[in-house]
Amino acid sequence: MPEYRNPKPTVDLFIELPDGRFVLVRRSNPPHGWALPGGFVDEGEPLDRAAIREAKEETGLDVELREQFFTYGDPSRDPRQHTLSTVFLASAEGEPLGGDDAAEARAFRPDELPPLVFDHATIVADVLRYLRTGERRKL
């Protein structure tokens, strides 16, 4: 009987600071590069708790989740394995500080973004369009 394999659940956060900047982390593990804070959901862990935990571990920030934005599930979104990422919009105060598997955490203005890994450029574009126009990503 073949082994049944499922995608791995993850969370990502678009953390907005009071001055309009948002937080990215520079990954210390492959694939290297800049990404939204986030990571894998632990077994038995609710999605919102996973998001709050990952934000704290990777950025040092205590976040307030504002809403669950969208779930991204393209099988090619993560080169390591098939993942499903539920994205949360969040807010926080303070300056981020990289921790856990984030080599660095910084806040960026939307017009000064570095190249992003995974499908995070798509996610950021979708969120920025939503914040600007109220238009959600279409299924």
Q: E strands along 36-133, which residues? A: 38-40, 64-72, 83-91, 102-108
Catalytic residue among 3, 54, 104, 135: 104
Per-residue DSSP letter, 46: -
Give catalytic status of residue 104 as yes or no: yes
**What whole-number distance in Å separates Cα of residue 17 and Cα of residue 108?**
10
Scanning 1-139, the segments in alpha helix (DSSP H) are 47-59, 120-133
| Per-residue CA distances from 108 to 7, 61, 64, 73, 127 (Å) | 31, 15, 19, 26, 14
Report the catalytic residues: 104
